[in-house]
Amino acid sequence: MTDVQLDPTKRGYWTSDQEVRWCPGCGDYGILAAMQFMHTELDVKREETVFVSGIGCAARFPYYMSTYGMHTIHGRAPAIATGLAMARPDLNIWVVGGDGDMLSIGGNHLIHALRRNVNMTILLFNNQIYGLTKGQYSPTSEVGKVTKSTPMGSIDRPFNPISVALGAGATFVARTHDMDRKHMIQVFKRANEHQGAALVEIYQNCNVFNDGTYDPILKRDNRANMLIDLEHGQPVRFGADGERGVVVVDGQARVVDVADVGEDALVVHNESQDDPALAFALGNLANDNESPTPFGVFRAVDAPEYAGAANQQLLAANEASGPGDLGELLRSGATWVVE
Amino acid sequence: MTDTVDRVDETTLDHVVIRFAGDSGDGMQLTGDRFTSASALAGNDLATLPEFPAEIRAPQGTLAGVSAFQVHISDHDIHTPGDAPDVLVAMNPAALRSELGRLRSGGTVILNDDAFDERNLDKAGYAADPRDDGTLDGFIVHRVNMTKLTLDATADLDVKKRDAERSKNFFALGLISWMYSRPTEPTLQWIQQKFGKIEAVAAANTSAFKAGHAFGETTEMFGSPFKVAAAPQRPGLYTNITGNTATAWGMVAAGQLANLPVFLGSYPITPASDILHELSRLKNFGVRTFQAEDEIAGAGSALGAAFGGALAYTTTSGPGVALKGETIGLAVGMELPLVIIDVQRGGPSTGLPTKTEASDLLMAMYGRHGESPMPVVSASTPAECFHAVIEASRLAIKYRTPVILLTDGYLANGSEPWLLPDVDSLPDISTTFTTEPNGTDADGNDVFLPYLRDEVTGARPWAIPGTPGLEHRIGGLERQHETGNVNYDPANHGLMTDLRQAKIDGIAADIPLIEVDGPGDAEILLVGWGSTKGSITAAAERMRAEGASVDHIHLTHLHPFARNLGEVLSDRKHVFVPEMNKGQLVKLLRAEFLVDAHPINKVMGTPFTASEIIDAINDRLLKAEAEA
């Protein structure tokens, strides 16, 4: 064993001995690196960390972390992680999946894990395409997407993952992207600290089947005018000199020139607002890859965590009836003696 | 109760079969259940058959809405709820119409006369009044104004007429309790316990029950009451238990015997939901129950809990097993303990949700893609469900494998007296988690090999998160022998397939040998599994009483089979396999042992009667004779 494998502050400690098999140039590499580097800064134990994934390119993630891991079934990771979280509230659980895994075949499990507020951090790698099955359109692909299964263009209207999560009552919702390690680490940390279910959408480039889909937003030259950094308690504004901003009128968020409306008209971001309306409005600001798009934490509110609440019931039952006695249970109905 | 008590002279019966039938809203299940409990306390042996429609409230008064409860009480050991009822209590014309055909000729019909108005007759589809048109010829008929007498009995109480009317099932219960000399005290106490919070309801039910009892006692109509003496039973403490309750208690027991926390992931489905209900109120045993968003999540959450070190269960019925198939396959590959309990019902698809069937055996055996062998265990009586859960759990834990336990709707809702086991006599099924590295890598470093197998059992180590140094990743992709790393090598896939199969096959050495009920070398062998045990046992007993030489074996382990099964099957002139399906076990037996086993099948949503089995055997024997 080498030194880095014994030192939790080194990336190598968080890296498994398995060869990473994503396509060269895949955005997943950047996310994996961010996750491993982030762990070097955290005060968590490797043995208490579990990565659970479904099926898809993203879902190979657990094999590359040196923690405990389960690579499970297409779409089912949030459900499997829910059982693990209930049985073992002491663990730090991460769930990893792509847009097909989480929003198509696994959409049901995702929304229920979010509404229950089970303590897990769900990373949704959104590349707007099916990669592992070689390039079919996904539930986040834009209308008109031409793929092998949609030669005349897709006619499905896409999900906005932020809206789905907010609609499901998620208590923590954020977005980041695969090109900014610092931002990813910052968002992952906050999501991990959150008590309950956290959803992090990660804009991730599939350089083989959907290369450059986010370029209009994320190409370095475009970022200043297209990437909106959400900051709690701050007016929402962007642009090279902060010359653009966001106002909310009649519940709808709109991009404006600050000069036209004045600084005071800009909406002030409040991630801890109980009512998700503002987060929803900000999430809906961009439903395509052509509009300025917010990144950061949309919502972070406190609510009872599920496994903890379930445990409370066990304790309350124990308090009310005493620890269970099997013999007593068997005799708890009407009984009679045969001599 | 009154001065007429002197004329009571009980006639003794050795057994009686009573069928309570009425509208779904008439409380027939409750009535039957109470009669059963009182009979259990009186020391009778008994067997019950609740039958109810899938609809919560089918249109009132129609055939679709008829709910029935059959109970067989006896002064000797019995095995079935009875072939044909001796007594039918019919609360309305629809109940009479739907159930009369089952009654034995010369049997007794007790009618709620008040319900036989034109409207109800019409709804039941009677063109003429069956009370007058000869329909009831050959039966002993008692017409009782149950509704009116119930209203009279409750007139002084502060109860609305509609509510008072609802107590008429207690009138019927009181009457039948008198007819069969059941103790009244337990039922009166139970009414207080159950309805005590709503005083008016408790009072109305009490009055109706007493009125029914007094009616039997004071009217000449019924002659003297009957007595069914207590059955000679092995001494000890008994309780009356349904299969679903026994299943839930088995899970609690298995958790304690394994010294593992119990987790149940489940989705509501008839007829399995009562297991979830029962377990959910036992949280003081440290049991975690999770009502998942669907069947898949029920199984998935359980598998996640198993990875975390819980004794994990998922409970369902056939349609749910279909949905869980992919997760069960993952459990086969991950080699984690997981017990899937399938309370079988009529299929395919939604089929007959409230009716019984045993047609999931081949799905349990083969209902996954790929080569994915796993143990299949079954329960044969309601109380046996308790031990069957412990056995399924033992195999799951010891061999790190998913196990399917098959029960069915008849076992789930049926009940029987249960001689309570001594808790200390239950088996130790505990295991140890792996906490230390079990191998070395090429450089001589200590490593953990998650797929290094136990030499005897073939099971892999169970190392749970939280254990330092044993961090490992497992998944659905084929795993390399010993290391568990993803591996696509052809030879490795062949090896792992063989190792998984060998592990399950090896379980045959670790399960009880089959015991033959009968002389042991009879020409006729009856082979059964599951809830047909009572009917087959009764059929075998009757055939022997008539001079036939009959053996009966009843399989609890359906995969792998007990290692002496081949021997027991050999050298028989006739092997019959009665099953509540179109012939599933018989296929397995023929394939495995090349035995000329003959199927006897019933797929009607109701259990076999003993006579049906005997008739089928006799038909076949006659044909065989004719062919010879």
- Tens digit of pLDDT for each residue in A291-338? 999 999 999 999 999 999 999 999 999 999 999 999 999 999 889 888
Out of B186, B419, B486, name the one closest to residue A63 (CB). Answer: B486
Q: What is the DSSP letter of A139?
A: T
Please indicate, yes or no, whether residues B404 and B449 belong to a single structural domain of this protein: no
Mean pLDDT computed over every residue of chain B = 95
Contact A72 B261 (CB under 8 A): no
- Say what the pLDDT of residue B5 is: 39
pLDDT digits (tens, 9 = 90+) for B593-603: 999 999 999 99
- What CATH number is attached to the domain comprising B139? 3.40.920.10
Contact B73, B228 (CB under 8 A): yes
Distance (Å) from the alpha carbon of A161 to chain B's nearest alpha carbon: 20
| Run of H or E including B74 | strand B66-74
Given B228, B249, B284, the domain boundary residue is B228
* Largest distance between two CA atoms of chain A: 96
Q: Which of residues 112-171 of A touch B (CB under 8 A)?
A: 112
- Say what the pLDDT of residue B451 is: 98
Confidence of residue B3 (pLDDT cuts 50, 70, 90): very low
Residue A237 belongs to some domain of the structure: no
Cα A78 to Cα A61: distance, rounded to the nearest angstrom: 15
pLDDT, average across residues B303-318: 98
Given B406, B425, B444, the domain boundary residue is B425
Residue B517 belongs to some domain of the structure: no
pLDDT, average across residues B577-586: 98
Out of A80, A91, A322, name the one closest to residue B300 (CB). Answer: A80
* B285 close contact with A: CB closer than 8 A: yes
Lowest mean pLDDT among A279-293, B51-65, B310-324: B51-65
pLDDT, average across residues A171-185: 98
**DSSP-assigned letters across all residues of B308-327:** TT-EEEEEE-HHHHHHHHHH
- What CATH number is attached to the domain comprising A160? 3.40.50.970
Residue B395: how many other CB atoms lie within 10 Å: 25
In Å, what is the CA distance from B23 to each residue of A6, A102, B60? 72, 47, 6
State which residues form the domain around A142.
3-213+304-313
What radius of gyration do chain A's Cα atoms show?
Answer: 23
From chain B, pick out residues whose CB is under 8 angstroms from the CB of A108. Answer: 293-294, 297
Please indicate, yes or no, whether residues B280 and B371 belong to a single structural domain of this protein: yes
Nearest residue on chain A to B287, alpha-carbon basis = A314
pLDDT, average across residues B550-579: 97
Q: Which residues pair with B112 in a beta bridge?
A: B144
Contact B40 A334 (CB under 8 A): yes
Distance (Å) from the alpha carbon of B347 to chain A's nearest alpha carbon: 26
pLDDT digits (tens, 9 = 90+) for B198-232: 888 999 999 999 999 999 999 877 888 888 998 88
Q: In terms of pLDDT, which residue wins out, B219 or A175? A: A175
From chain A, pick out residues whose CB is under 8 angstroms from the CB of B312. Answer: 83, 87
Contact A334, B37 (CB under 8 A): yes
Residue A156 belongs to some domain of the structure: yes
Domain count, chain A: 1
- Say what the pLDDT of residue B11 is: 82
Q: Is the peptide bond before B271 cis (omega within 30 degrees of 0)?
A: yes
For chains A and B, count residue pairs whose Cβ atoms are closer than 8 Å: 214
Residue B518 belongs to some domain of the structure: no
- What CATH number is attached to the domain comprising B405? 3.40.50.970
What radius of gyration do chain B's Cα atoms show?
Answer: 27
Residue B271 belongs to some domain of the structure: yes
Confidence of residue A6 (pLDDT cuts 50, 70, 90): confident
Confidence of residue B8 (pLDDT cuts 50, 70, 90): very low
Confidence of residue B52 (pLDDT cuts 50, 70, 90): confident
Residue A226 belongs to some domain of the structure: no
Residue A323: how many other CB atoms lie within 10 Å: 10
The span from the first CA to the last CA of chain B, in angstroms, equals: 66
pLDDT, average across residues A85-111: 98
Contact A334 B283 (CB under 8 A): no
φ, ψ (nearest 5 deg) of residue B86: -85, -30
H-only helix segments in B408-489: 409-413
Residue A321 belongs to some domain of the structure: no
Contact B286 A314 (CB under 8 A): yes
Tokens of B565: 């099964």
Mean pLDDT computed over every residue of chain A = 96
- Sign of the alpha-carbon dihedral angle for B193, B197, B203, B208: negative
Given B172, B198, B228, the domain boundary residue is B228
pLDDT digits (tens, 9 = 90+) for B585-594: 999 999 999 9
Residues 6 or more apart from B454 whose CB is under 8 A from it? B460
Residue B515 belongs to some domain of the structure: no
Contact A71 B475 (CB under 8 A): yes
pTM for this entry: 0.93
Please indicate, yes or no, whether residues B268 and B303 belong to a single structural domain of this protein: yes
- Say what the pLDDT of residue B509 is: 98
Please indicate, yes or no, whether residues B268 and B379 belong to a single structural domain of this protein: yes
Cα B218 to Cα A174: distance, rounded to the nearest angstrom: 78
Residue B86 belongs to some domain of the structure: yes
Nearest residue on chain B to A325, alpha-carbon basis = B285
Decide if pLDDT at B2 tops 60.
no
Cα A228 to Cα A293: distance, rounded to the nearest angstrom: 6
Suggest the residue from A5, A36, A47 to mutate for an interface test with chain B (most B CBs closer than 10 A): A47
Residue B519 belongs to some domain of the structure: no
Confidence of residue B4 (pLDDT cuts 50, 70, 90): very low
Residues 6 or more apart from B137 whose CB is under 8 A from it? none
- What CATH number is attached to the domain comprising B606? 3.40.50.920
Query: Which one of B27-31, B82-86, B246-250 scores highest in mean pLDDT?
Result: B246-250
Residue B596 belongs to some domain of the structure: yes
Please indicate, yes or no, whether residues B116 and B38 belong to a single structural domain of this protein: yes
- Sign of the alpha-carbon dihedral angle for A268, A274, A275, A281: positive
Out of A49, A317, A338, name the one closest to residue B283 (CB). Answer: A317
Decide if pLDDT at A63 tops 80.
yes
pLDDT, average across residues A184-188: 98
Q: By CB neighbour count within 10 A (0-12 exposed, 13-18 middle, 19+ buried), where does A61 fall?
A: buried
Please indicate, yes or no, whether residues B23 and B111 belong to a single structural domain of this protein: yes
Please indicate, yes or no, whether residues B441 and B565 belong to a single structural domain of this protein: no
Please indicate, yes or no, whether residues B166 and B202 belong to a single structural domain of this protein: yes
* A3 close contact with B: CB closer than 8 A: no
pLDDT digits (tens, 9 = 90+) for B498-539: 999 999 999 999 999 999 999 999 999 999 999 999 999 999
pLDDT digits (tens, 9 = 90+) for B169-198: 999 999 999 999 999 999 999 999 999 888
Give strand ranges (E) for B442-529: 446-447, 473-475, 524-529
Find, among B224, B193, B204, the residue nearest to B160 by Cα. B204
Please indicate, yes or no, whether residues B450 and B330 belong to a single structural domain of this protein: no
Residue A326 belongs to some domain of the structure: no
Please indicate, yes or no, whether residues B273 and B403 belong to a single structural domain of this protein: yes
State which residues form the domain around B221.
3-228
pLDDT, average across residues B276-305: 98
Contact A45, A90 (CB under 8 A): no
Residue A112 belongs to some domain of the structure: yes
Please indicate, yes or no, whether residues B367 and B471 belong to a single structural domain of this protein: no
Contact B335, B269 (CB under 8 A): no
- Say what the pLDDT of residue A338 is: 87
Domain count, chain B: 4
Residue B181 belongs to some domain of the structure: yes
- Percent of chain B past pLDDT 90, that is, above it, reads 89
Find, among B196, B242, B405, B381, the residue nearest to B317 by Cα. B405
Please indicate, yes or no, whether residues B202 and B183 belong to a single structural domain of this protein: yes
pLDDT digits (tens, 9 = 90+) for B459-471: 999 999 999 999 9
pLDDT, average across residues A153-175: 98
Contact B66, B89 (CB under 8 A): no
